[in-house]
Structure 1
Amino acid sequence: MHDPLALVIGLLQPSAALSKLVTASGCWAVRPPGMGPFYAALLEGNCALSITGRVPVRLGEGDFMLIPAAEDFKVASLIPPPDGRVIEPVEIRPGVFHLGEPGAPDTRMLVGYCAFKSNDAALLVSLLPELVVVRGERRLTTLVELLSEEARAERPGRDEVVARLLEVLLIEAFRATAGPSAAPGLLRGLADERLAATLRRMHGEPSRPWTVGALAREAALSRSTFFDRFRREVGVSPMEYLSGWRMAIAKDLLRGEGVSVSEVAQRVGYSSSSTFSVAFTRQVGASPTTYARGQAR
C-alpha cells in the first residue's frame, strides 16, 4: 500500500543546510534568518515561539517544533527583553552558539535548517501543516541529535545518511500531528478513514483515469458527499489535488534522463501527449519539453 505522506516527503528531496547547538540564559529573543524549513528540539529549559498571525506557543524540555515554510517568526525566552529587541547568537565554539546573558545556560536546543531540492516544493509544502509542535516525543529528539552528529561528521556517505534521517524526521513529525484537529491538508485527509483510502489510491495509481465518481466509490461515499468531505478536509477539490500530484510526479520524471514526454504522460494518467502537454503548460508555464531541457542545463 502506497503511503501518501512518505511519497510527498520523498519528492521534496530534503537535504541538511545547517545544524547547531544553541544555549541561552536570561532574557533573549532571536529572529532566525528564514533560510528555509526550520526545526528545533528543546533539550533543556523553555522558550516561546511567535509566528506572525498566530498565537504564541510555549515550548518546554523534550518538545519539538518544525516550521516548513514560515518566513517571519521569533523564538524568545518566556520573559522577553524589555525593549523587545532581538539579538544575534554568538558562536562560542564551532557549531555552538549562545543567546542572552553570559554565564551558565538555562536553555539548550538543537536547531537546524533543511532545504527542499524539489522544484515543486511550494506545491508539496502546501499539502502539509504550517507549524508542527510535538510534545515530549523522545524519538524526535533522538533523530535531531543523530542529524546534528552526522552533519558535523566527515564520514563516507554523510550526505546520503543525512538525507535519509531528514526524511524520517519529517515523516515522524508530520504523522505525530495528524488527526481531525490538523489544518485542512494531506494530514487531515489521512486522518479520515474513508478519504485515506482514496488518497492512497490516487498516490499509488496516478496513471488510472480517475473521475470524481470513481474516487467516491473508493471511499464508499456518494459522489456529492465525497466531493464536499474531500474539499473540507484536504482544502482543495479531489481533481485539483490529483492534478497537482500528477504534475509533481511529472516534473520529477522530466528531471530524469531517458524518459520521453509520451511515457511521462502515460505514467501520470493522460490519454495522449498533447493532452498532457496542454495541462502541464497551463500549470507550469512551460511545455514538458522546454521544462526538461531547462532541467538538463
Structure 2
Amino acid sequence: MNDPVAEVVSLLKPSLSISKLVTGGGRWLVERTELGSPFYCAIVEGSCLMTISGRQSVVLTAGDFVLVPKIFSFTMSSLEPLPRGALARRLETSPGVFRLGEPEAPTDIKAMVGHCAFGTDDKALLVSLLPEVIHVRGEERLMRLVNMINEETRADRTAREMVLHRLLEVLLIEALRSSASATAPPGLLRGMADPLLAPTLRRIHADPGRNMTVETLARDAAMSRSTFFDRFRREVGVAPMEYATGWRMALAKELLREDVAMAEVAQRVGYGSTSAFSVAFSRHVGMPPGAYSRANAAA
C-alpha cells in the first residue's frame, strides 16, 4: 500500500533555499518576524534558546534537531539574550559560515541551519497534516543528514541539485518518523500511529478512486459510523471525507499539472464523470480544472 507520509513529502516538492553553519558567542539574538520559509536547525555543540511565537521557550542542546514546517515568527538567542529589538552582530566569516554575537567571545554554540521551500501550490493543505513544530533529541541519523546537506551545499559536484532535493526529502521523512506517536498533535502522524486508523489512511492514499463514504470507511475499520467518525476527527484533526476530498484534490492538481486528460483525472480521483469532478474541483479550488490546467501550463 502507498505510504501517506512519503506521499505528502513528495507532493510538497521540497527544495533547499539556504544552508549555513552558525556559531555564536557572548550575547546575541536573531529574530524572524517576516514569516519566511520552513526552517530546520541541528545543534552540533553548545546550547541556545529558541522561542516560537505562541509557545514557551525551549533550550536546545547538542544533538537537538528542530523542524518548523509551518511559517511562524520566532527568535533564537544565547541563553542570556539581548533585549528584544536589539540587533545581533552577524558576520559571514566564509561562504555559508556565520558568526553571531561578540567576535572575541568564546564560541558557546555551533549549529547547522537551513531554510527550504515547498514547490506545490497545495502546501496549505499538505502542511496542515504535519505537526506545527518537530523537536527531536539524540537522533544521530538526523544530524548526519543535516551535515550531508551542509557539505553538499558547499561543494560543486555533479547532480548537486538532485542530491540536495533527495537529501531534503529524506531529512523530512526521518524527522516525521522520529516524531510519529500517539502523543503527536492531531494530524497525519498521529493518525498513522493509531493502529485502527492507519489502515484507513493507507487505503485512502492507495486507492483514491474507489467509492468512499464514512459508512464504507467505518465498515473497513470495523467500527460503527459514529465511533469511526469521532476517532478520525480527534486523531487526524479533520472529518474523514474532508481528508479524503482534500487528498483527492491535491492529487488532481498534480495530475492536471502533468497534463493528464481530465476524464482520466476524474476517474483516478473517484468521480464518475468529468462534470461531477469539475463541480467538486471548482468548489474546492476556486476555479474549474480546465482553467487550472491552462494557468499552470502558462506558468
TM-score scaled by length of structure 2: 0.96
CA displacement, residues 184-205 of structure 1 (integer Å, 9 cap, x when unaligned): 1101101100100100000111
CA displacement, residues 51-72 of structure 1 (integer Å, 9 cap, x when unaligned): 1111111110010000112231
AA at the equivalent of 2:206: G
RMSD of equivalent CA atoms: 1.2
SS at structure 2 position matched to 1:246? helix
CA distance in 1, matches of 2:135, 2:89: 24
Q: Are 1:286 and 2:287 an aligned pair?
A: yes
Residue of structure 1 aligned with 2:159, choices 154, 157, 160: 157
CA displacement, residues 33-63 of structure 1 (integer Å, 9 cap, x when unaligned): 5431100100001111111111111110010
Deviates more, 1:186-195 or 1:27-36: 27-36
SS at structure 2 position matched to 1:49? strand
**Identical columns (%):** 57
From the superposition, tell whether residues 137 and 271 of structure 1 become closer, same or farther in structure 2 (CA, over 3 Å). Answer: same
Matches within 5 A, 1:1-297: 1-32=1-32, 34-82=35-83, 85-87=86-88, 89-103=90-104, 104-257=106-259, 259-297=260-298
SS at structure 2 position matched to 1:194? coil
SS at structure 2 position matched to 1:53? coil
TM-score scaled by length of structure 1: 0.97
Cα distance, 1:79 vs. partner?
1.3
CA distance in 2, matches of 1:194, 1:86: 51
From the superposition, tell whether residues 148 and 182 of structure 1 become closer, same or farther in structure 2 (CA, over 3 Å). Answer: same
CA displacement, residues 176-226 of structure 1 (integer Å, 9 cap, x when unaligned): 111121111101101100100100000111000111111112222111100
Runs of 4+ in 1 over 6 A off after TM superposition: none
CA distance in 2, matches of 1:16, 1:135: 23
SS at structure 1 position matched to 2:283? helix
For the 8 Å contact 1:89–1:99, the answer to whether it is kept is: yes
For the 8 Å contact 2:89–2:101, the answer to whether it is kept is: no
SS at structure 1 position matched to 2:36? coil
Cα distance, 1:133 vs. partner?
0.3
SS at structure 1 position matched to 2:67? strand
For the 8 Å contact 2:24–2:99, the answer to whether it is kept is: yes
AA at the equivalent of 1:26: G
AA at the equivalent of 2:8: V
CA distance in 1, matches of 2:90, 2:69: 22
For the 8 Å contact 1:30–1:89, the answer to whether it is kept is: no
From the superposition, tell whether residues 277 and 91 of structure 1 become closer, same or farther in structure 2 (CA, over 3 Å). Answer: same
Deviates more, 1:42-51 or 1:215-224: 215-224
SS at structure 1 position matched to 2:56? coil
CA distance in 1, matches of 2:96, 2:70: 24
For the 8 Å contact 1:65–1:132, the answer to whether it is kept is: yes
For the 8 Å contact 2:65–2:135, the answer to whether it is kept is: yes
SS at structure 2 position matched to 1:70? coil
Number of residue pairs matched by the alignment: 296
CA distance in 2, matches of 1:62, 1:231: 34
From the superposition, tell whether residues 93 and 280 of structure 1 become closer, same or farther in structure 2 (CA, over 3 Å). Answer: same
What are the ranges of 5 or more consecutive residues in structure 2 without an aligned counterpart?
none
Cα distance, 1:101 vs. partner?
1.0
CA displacement, residues 119-165 of structure 1 (integer Å, 9 cap, x when unaligned): 11111001001100000111001000101111222212111111111
CA distance in 2, matches of 1:273, 1:200: 26
For the 8 Å contact 2:89–2:102, the answer to whether it is kept is: no
What are the ranges of 5 or more consecutive residues in structure 1 without an aligned counterpart?
none
Cα distance, 1:27 vs. partner?
1.2
Deviates more, 1:102-111 or 1:260-269: 102-111
